[in-house]
Amino acid sequence: MKQEQGHSKAKKFGMVIDLDLCTGCGSCMVACMAENNVPFKEDETDKLKSITWMRIFKFSNGKTYPETDVCYLPRPCQHCEGHGGHSPCVSVCPATATDYDAHTGIVSQIYTRCFGCRYCMGSCPYKARYFNWFDPVWPDGMEQYLSPDVSPRMRGVVEKCSFCYHRYQIAKDKAHYEGQTEIEEDAYQTACAQACPVKAITFGDLNNHSHAVSKLKNQPNAFRLLERLGTNTKVYYVSGREWVRRAGDNYLKAEWPKKTS
Amino acid sequence: MDSALIPNGVRRCSINKFMIALAIAGAVLLWGVYAMFLCWFKGLNQTNMNDYYGFALWIWADLAIIALGGGAFFTGFLRYIMGKDELKNIINYAVLIGFICYSSALLILAIDIGQPLRGWFIFWHANVHSMLTEVAFCLTCYFMVLTIEYIPLILENKQIDKVPFFHHLSHNMHSVMAVFAATGAFLSFFHQGSLGGVAGVLFGRPFAFREGLFIWPWTFFLFTWSAAAYGPCFTLMVTKITEMVTKKKLVKDNVVELLAKISGWMMATYIIAKIIDTYYWANVTAPSLGFNIMHFYSNNSFYGLWILFLEIILGGVVPAAILITEKGRKNSLARNTAFVLAVIGVCVNRWVMVLQVMAVPVMSFDTWALYYPSWQEVATTILPVAYGIILIMISYRYLPIFPQEPELNPVD
Amino acid sequence: MKIDRRSFLALGVGVVAGNALSPVPAILTDDIAIWTQNWPWVPVPEIGGSAYADTTCQLCPGGCGISVRKVEERGVKIEGKKDHPVNNGGICALGLSGLQLLYGPTRVKTPLKRAGKRGEGKWIKISWDQAISEVAGKLNDLRSQEKAHTVAGISGSSSGTMTEIFRRFLTAYGSANFFHTPSIQDTYRLVFEFMHGKKADPGFDIENADFILSFGSSLLEGWGPPVRMLKASKKWKDTATKIIQIEPRLSRTALKAERWIPVTPGTEAVLALSLCHVIIKEGLYNKDFLANSTFGFEDYKAKNGEIKKGFKQLVMDDYSPEAASKITGLDPAAIILLAREFAKASAPLAIFGKGQGILPGSLSEAMAIHALNALCGSINRKGGIFALDVLENKELSEVALDGIAEAGLKQHKLVETPHNSSGCLNQAFSAILKGNSVNALLVLEANPLYTLSDSKSVKDAFDRIPFIASFSSFMDETAQYADMILPNHIYLERIEDVPLSMGFPKTVIGLSKPVFKPQYSTKHAGDTILLISKELGGSIADSFPWKNYEACLQHVLSDKMDVLKKKGFWTATDSFPDFKNAFRTASAKFEFQTDSLSSDLVNVKIEGDETYPLVLIPYETIRLSTGYIANPPFLTKAVEDTILKGKDSFIEINPKTAQASGFSEADMVLLQTPKGQARVRVHLEEGIMPGIIALPRGLGHTAYDNYIADKGINVNQLIGPVNDPVSGLDTAWGIRAKLSKA
Amino acid sequence: MSKSDDKAQTVSEKAVEVSSSTRQSSSSDEGSGGIVVLFFFIGLAISLIFGWMIFPKLLYSQKKQPINFSHSLHNKLVSNGCESCHFFRDDGSYSGVPKLAQCVGCHEEVQGDSPDEIEFVEKYVQKGIEVPWLVYARQPDCVFFSHAAHVKTAKLDCKTCHGYIGESESLKTYYQNRITGYSRDIWGENIAGIKKNTWDRMKMDDCAECHQKLKTSFGSVQTQKEGCFVCHK
């Protein structure tokens, strides 16, 4: 394929999230909102109309008191590779407003190209895409904290987690200036990974063996969400708890315990 | 007063009666237009759609009316390509209905998108991999074809026809109509199909996803087929309604029965295919992704197996059975019931392929999300109905839509 | 020639054709689309050079180091400061939202004077000079009427130079009625006063303990420095540290704990003593420590000659696992097992205090649990609990007092307890309701009207105070109910020393530096107080010889200032003398305070009788800010819709309990307690003990702005204080309640 | 008269009517055929003139820079060419239009006798107010442009995009699109979008053009061109 002819080996940025470490404290959610100029309304309790690029799901093992156990699962955009970059959302966008970048493995979303047909939202099984139902409004004066690295979205377009791509742009900018070709692992980290107090989120280049993620993703307890759909995501989860690993996908009764394939 | 415009040899109601009816329909239309502007100026927060329901009532309405409008291309196909000559007595009406359906569909799409002023990006920055792009292109092209098919009808108006130029124009257009009918049939095959593809390609949504042929999932063919099968039923149903309203027989039974018979057989074959598809999906596709079929029909307060029964049995098998049997077709009550059931059947199918797809949770820890439309959505969805009624009223009054009308209702 | 209809038709056609051949349609179509991409009402962030500025967070007592990312003069992001002893790069959701407070609509932008009725929200803007002279005037009058002692002050914090200055001001003025928002720290100080005989704060060596027994502490819900605790939880996993969470609710801490042991709330002390029983019975205790460094373990002779029952005898008699089992609802075998595990661990650590530690709690319970630590010698040693000497500000000279001041200080205080009473805020307000007059109240960074239990009585008390002045930066409940607001800079705009909150095993002071110049016409509360004292003149002015607060801070921190300015924090070299010299009690040993451990004391009764079949407990979640700082919009956005939906709070209730009264998920119910009632929604939760219902703290604000106000219920309306018989601090961990259809 | 007669009469009358009517119409045809064509061309001309000559003027509003500035003059005085004032920050980001602080370096006091400089010093330097420059090349907010990548790595000359502004004696008028608010330099002066030089237009297509030519590998799976996030934020 054309994109493999790149000068430097194609990168594949991804995440490994340790669900046994995650306390569901919400730092990643807020770090993401603060980093990416995510708007907010007076009432954000309708979670079906609340933009949270990073959303923490909460689910239990279904047992009763006192055997019950709960798992918090942070869910950024999974940046599916699908087959050859045809992730569920990318292939359906009629205006090429969302795209898969074979150089980075990141699924981009261009707000000024999007005209809000929302087909991509329908295609995403992770519900990682959010629509701007309302005009973004910041209370008087608060627009002062908006970051110039991420363009605020207008009403009527879809937005989602970008793996803080602007941080990669900034890192590359520096590299160009200093005449570097490669970018260090810690020079490009997402806001959520950086903020997480328990370091449950690890971010890096899955193709680069010197990056932590490339090893972490191979742990026996690592799994991905809805692997069976062939979404081929780049966000891995880790848990020592079997019921959590099982919740990561759908299985018929007969199919569990999962045969390691 | 407007008698100069009314075709020769037919009787029409008084202008006052006509105007009152027009006013009523117009009022409904205005309500819809008001809602439409609310959506355009205030944004889609006017709807009850949300991040789990990116597609909802509107997209359903689109799919449904386009399926129902399928009568136009299929009847045209039968008339001009297959040479079913009797159908010339209903083709006009089929075209008109098709025109209404497609223009409405385009309008609804224009309301549905979050950035209407950027709508043209779908053509300019088209992504060839997207089913929606295919839909947009074919839909627009076919709408043009329908317009071209509708024009000669307008030209047949008594006054317009007096102008030599228009007279000749309409005559010439009639003679080349076969070409357009062919183009229309071709385009329709694709956009009806790609509408099916819209759902079928969603490999992230096991409820909608289907395997298929080359780039086209089975839903692609099922949609085209169903449109061809159910479209004529809608044409016939609307004809029946028109006859009831005008208290006149407008189309001879042999014509109706012919179309009903063809439609019936199409439906029968379609429903068999649909059953096979459903069976395969329920027993192979879904399980291979870890889903038991009951997952899609339980643990929620609305969607159950009943909807599957309503779509396939009541809305498919039953009408098909009625229409393919001589006795069924001949009995007007049975026939008309079949039309209604068929229309319901295809609408339910489109509903399922849009809204149930959105409702079903995919991640094991996600939940069902049910939705009901806001009044703005309802109003904008009723808008096309009012618009259709108005267009039919005017066309029926001033254009010779039904060639058999003078013969069936001689003016003494 | 003849121009007819068709000519005009032709003209039209021509125009259309011409347009099609001109750039107009294309350009308009394109430009209109571009217009939608740059709608004037969508803000465009200004570009510029970016840089980081470090300071210390003050949104909770945690004292994390933060780095503020700035683009030119604008702050665009707050991040955790790397290599900081407390948070080392990590940061909590509240800390991340700081800029929303800086630029938020809830700031008080200039000094305000009440115009309408109290709490009505009608204000007139006044100049700083006017504000200061008016306050000074008020205070002067009271002084001249020899009512100096009827002036009271409330500080949000009990430590730090700012608090010192505030207390100093009141003293110089002639009032001993200084209070601070109570916290568990007050109880712990008493524990050390009684058992160690010295003024100390607790430091928990959580990172090095290998068996942690938490008696309901929300270790991962904002306890101590929250980020430090969250980091510790990773360490626990890496080092396989055992955490046992004793709590009626499956909190985050319980989730991450190795074992969650739900016990009847309020019986923790009994459980602790019963564990001691087992440990003593099986001889698993630290014999050397008990033999040589403790007093009151065996029976002893009191001063008056009578023989008193020692700790050993007490627990052997009254706290057998069987007896405890009846009270705690825990199986005796479980108690015995737990005791063995605890005692056999190499570095066991028991932690007292429910929730985040906002609640002082029962002194007896604290001592019972501390005794458990003592039994295993987990005091002042690696992995145990340290008694950190309280830093005294030696630099501050004696307060100069004039006649009026001396007279005022001799007057009887609002609250008289044998021990330091400045934490007994609830009692202060009940005293006012009982008729003790307070003529002026000064409030610094505190919001008693919201944070104190039985908010209603507090409000009634407020109504009896003729003059209330608040230094708050925000229009919080108390500020809104005040007569005058002299707005303080917020933490990002001011210099401040931030002593680390309770629980950290080292004495650390952080420095908060002004990262932004003041956004509005606000003034550092320290400077405001200095100016007021100058206005008052005389001995009061003499007590504040500094030209401004910064100079004062410089003076107080003298030796530490350079380090603080350089590193951003200062760490004391704490030393822990061996057990021979560690205790300053009469016996110079660790003392088991047996007479405070009698069963009538250890069992804290809560308000309400059998007509209230259920028990309501407040709980804390790290996604809700519970104190003086209210939830910024981002944090509220992160709150689950099973806690808050629209304007409704949800109570957590066990499905069995709910079923019994026929409630199902999301039902609206009426929650009634002896103190009040509220309409709430039901959230079925398997992770809570049957018979218990839980309501989160941090909701139900009535002031601030639309992003904070009118969201849910303030649990403090429903709970009344229960004063500890010894310390006088609030010990109410809950209240009896009932639910009915609403 | 008999019925048949008057029937015949009426018929003949009708015939007359018809014939006359046809005559009328035919005569008017001959008369106005040319005029119709003429009117067509008039209409055509009107809209062509409007579209190509008037519309471009209407589309943009003209804005004067707050004060005049001579690039060429400064260029002669500085050592490091454009980068002397339009420099890179240490983090690799590009400073763009200089802030007052930089100018003050030299313009603490009035240097020469240019009235512009005097105005500058009095109006801005002394009052400490930033000059509200209008930036001709300002891209919309959705664009991320790395000067470092183009200038440092690709070794592009400033001219390639900015033309000869560096040699200009004075600042040209700033044309602002009334609809989009963009500078005219983005779409280019030519309303048809025709460009002779690389710096005549600055639209996405112009960036893409160059990227397509010079790059060997492309990220976008959908378009087989440059990935979107390379230039968008």
Whether the pLDDT of residue D21 is over 50: the answer is no
A116, A117, A125 member nearest B363 (Cβ)? A125
C494: tokens are: 């001011």
Which residue carries 């819709």 as its tokens? Answer: C641
Q: Which residues of chain B have a CB within 8 Å of the CB of C36?
A: 115, 117-118
Direct distance between the N- and C-terminal alpha carbons of chain B, in angstroms, rounded to an integer: 20
Would an 8 Å CB–CB cutoff place C14 in contact with chain D? yes
- Condensed to tens digits (0 to 9), the pLDDT of residues C470-508 reads 999 999 999 999 999 999 999 999 999 999 877 898 899
**pLDDT-based confidence at residue C122 (cuts at 50, 70, 90):** very high
The residues pairing with C213 across neighbouring beta strands, listed in sequence order, are C244, C350
In this complex, do C36 and A30 lie within 8 Å of one another by their Cβ atoms? no
Whether the pLDDT of residue B38 is over 80: the answer is yes
Whether the pLDDT of residue D10 is over 70: the answer is no
Whether the pLDDT of residue C1 is over 70: the answer is no
In this complex, do B118 and C29 lie within 8 Å of one another by their Cβ atoms? no
C3, C18, C22 member nearest D43 (Cβ)? C18
In this complex, do D140 and C37 lie within 8 Å of one another by their Cβ atoms? yes
Q: What is the pLDDT of residue B244?
A: 94
CB atoms within 10 A of CB D63: 12
Question: A257 preceded by cis ω (within 30°)?
Answer: yes
The residues pairing with C341 across neighbouring beta strands, listed in sequence order, are none
What contacts 24+ positions apart, CB below 8 Å, involve C460-467?
C460/C433, C461/C429, C461/C430, C461/C432, C461/C433, C462/C118, C463/C118, C464/C432, C464/C433, C464/C437, C464/C438, C465/C432, C465/C438, C465/C439, C465/C440, C465/C441, C466/C439, C466/C440, C467/C138, C467/C439, C467/C440, C467/C441
| Helix C24-37 / helix C5-20 crossing angle, nearest 10 deg | 60
Q: Which amino acid is at C32?
A: I
Would an 8 Å CB–CB cutoff place D172 in contact with chain A? no
Interface test with C, best of B117, B365, B368 (most C CBs within 10 A): B117
Which of C414-423 are b and which e, b meaning 16 or more Cβ less than 10 Å from the residue's Cβ?
bbebebebbb
Would an 8 Å CB–CB cutoff place C581 in contact with chain D? no
Q: Which residues of chain C have a CB within 8 Å of the CB of A26?
A: 93, 622-623, 635, 638
Whether the pLDDT of residue C221 is over 90: the answer is yes
- Condensed to tens digits (0 to 9), the pLDDT of residues B127-156 reads 999 999 988 998 899 999 999 989 988 998
Q: What is the pLDDT of residue B343?
A: 96
**pLDDT-based confidence at residue A240 (cuts at 50, 70, 90):** very high
Residues 72-131 (A) with a CB less than 8 A from some CB of B: 73, 80, 82, 86, 88-89, 91-97, 113-127, 129-131
Polymer length in residues for chain B: 412
* Global confidence as pTM: 0.93
**pLDDT-based confidence at residue B186 (cuts at 50, 70, 90):** confident
Find the mean pLDDT for residues C267-288. Answer: 95
In this complex, do A95 and B366 lie within 8 Å of one another by their Cβ atoms? no
Pairing of strands C644-645, C668-673: unpaired
Is the ipTM higher than 0.90? The answer is: yes
Q: Which residues of chain C have a CB within 8 Å of the CB of A142?
A: 100, 103-105
Query: Distance, in angstroms, between C677 CA and closest chain A CA?
Result: 23
Chain A nearest-CA residue for D87: A177
Three-state DSSP string of B148-186 = HHHHHHHHCCHHHHHCHHHHHHHHHHHHHHHHHHHHHHH
Q: Which residues of chain C have a CB within 8 Å of the CB of A136?
A: 42-43
- Is residue D142 within 8 A of residue A111, CB to CB? The reply is yes
Query: Distance, in angstroms, between B291 CA and closest chain A CA?
Result: 6
Whether the pLDDT of residue C53 is over 70: the answer is yes
| Interface list for chain A against chain D, based on CB atoms closer than 8 Å | 2-7, 84-86, 90-91, 93, 96, 99-104, 106, 108, 110-113, 149-152, 162, 165-166, 169-170, 172-179
The residues pairing with C467 across neighbouring beta strands, listed in sequence order, are C440
Q: What is the pLDDT of residue B173?
A: 85
C77, C87, C256 member nearest A147 (Cβ)? C77
Chain A nearest-CA residue for D215: A6
In this complex, do A126 and B365 lie within 8 Å of one another by their Cβ atoms? no
Q: Which residues contact C440 (CB under 8 A, 6 or more apart)?
A: C138, C139, C142, C150, C151, C152, C465, C466, C467, C468, C469
- Condensed to tens digits (0 to 9), the pLDDT of residues B266-319 reads 999 999 999 999 999 999 999 999 999 999 999 999 999 999 999 999 999 999
Q: What is the pLDDT of residue A155?
A: 96
**pLDDT-based confidence at residue C2 (cuts at 50, 70, 90):** low
Sign of the Cα pseudo-torsion (B340, B346, B349, B354, in order):
negative
Query: Distance, in angstroms, between A65 CA and closest chain C CA?
Result: 5
**pLDDT-based confidence at residue D32 (cuts at 50, 70, 90):** low
Please indicate whether residue C694 or residue D226 has the higher confidence score (pLDDT). Answer: C694
A5, A101, A150 member nearest D227 (Cβ)? A101
- Condensed to tens digits (0 to 9), the pLDDT of residues B68-91 reads 998 888 998 998 888 888 899 999
Q: Which residues of chain D have a CB within 8 Å of the CB of C23?
A: 51-52, 55-56, 191-192
Q: List the subunits that have 3+ CB pairs under 8 angstroms with C.
A: A, B, D
| Helix B88-112 / helix B131-155 crossing angle, nearest 10 deg | 130
Residues 36-65 (C) with a CB less than 8 A from some CB of D: 37-38, 40, 44-45, 47, 49-50
D153, D217, D230 member nearest A2 (Cβ)? D217
Q: DSSP characters for C441-471?
A: EEEES--HHHHSSSHHHHHHHHHT-SEEEE-
Query: Distance, in angstroms, between C516 CA and closest chain D CA?
Result: 19
Interface test with B, best of A41, A55, A115 (most B CBs within 10 A): A115
Would an 8 Å CB–CB cutoff place C42 in contact with chain A? yes
B43, B112, B122 member nearest A133 (Cβ)? B43
Q: What are the angstrom distances between the C-alpha of D207 and each of D158, D161, D199?
A: 14, 10, 11
Query: Distance, in angstroms, between C479 CA and closest chain A CA?
Result: 21
- Condensed to tens digits (0 to 9), the pLDDT of residues D72-107 reads 999 999 988 999 999 999 999 999 999 999 999 889
Residues 213-272 (B) with a CB less than 8 A from some CB of A: none
C4, C15, C49 member nearest D32 (Cβ)? C4
Q: Which residues of chain D have a CB within 8 Å of the CB of A162?
A: 229
How far apart CA A222 and CA A205 sit, in angstroms, is: 17
Find the mean pLDDT for residues C283-309. Answer: 90
- Condensed to tens digits (0 to 9), the pLDDT of residues D176-224 reads 999 999 999 999 999 998 999 999 999 999 999 999 988 888 899 988 8
Query: Distance, in angstroms, between C518 CA and closest chain A CA?
Result: 14
In this complex, do C89 and A40 lie within 8 Å of one another by their Cβ atoms? no
Number of residue pairs across A and C with CB atoms under 8 Å?
185
How far apart CA D217 and CA D215 sit, in angstroms, is: 6
Query: Distance, in angstroms, between D167 CA and closest chain C CA?
Result: 26
In this complex, do C23 and D47 lie within 8 Å of one another by their Cβ atoms? no
Whether the pLDDT of residue B252 is over 70: the answer is yes
Pairing of strands C211-214, C348-351: parallel
How far apart CA C328 and CA C338 sit, in angstroms, is: 14
How far apart CA C605 and CA D165 sit, in angstroms, is: 83
Query: Distance, in angstroms, between C35 CA and closest chain B CA?
Result: 9
Which residue carries 């799976």 as its tokens? Answer: D221
Interface test with D, best of C8, C9, C24, C72 (most D CBs within 10 A): C24
Q: What number of CA atoms fall less than 13 Å from residue D123's CA on the CB side?
A: 12
Which residue carries 């007063």 as its tokens? Answer: B1
Arithmetic mean of pLDDT over chain B: 93
Whether the pLDDT of residue C28 is over 60: the answer is yes
Question: Considering just the CA atoms, what is the radius of gyration of chain D in Å?
Answer: 33
Q: What is the pLDDT of residue A30?
A: 98
Number of residue pairs across A and B with CB atoms under 8 Å?
166
Q: DSSP characters for B189-205?
A: HHHHHHHHHHHHT-TT-
A104, A165, A173 member nearest D92 (Cβ)? A173
Percent of chain D surpassing pLDDT 70: 86
In this complex, do A95 and B126 lie within 8 Å of one another by their Cβ atoms? yes
Q: What is the pLDDT of residue B167?
A: 87
Residues 163-202 (D) with a CB less than 8 A from some CB of C: 177, 179-182, 191-192
In this complex, do A152 and C43 lie within 8 Å of one another by their Cβ atoms? yes
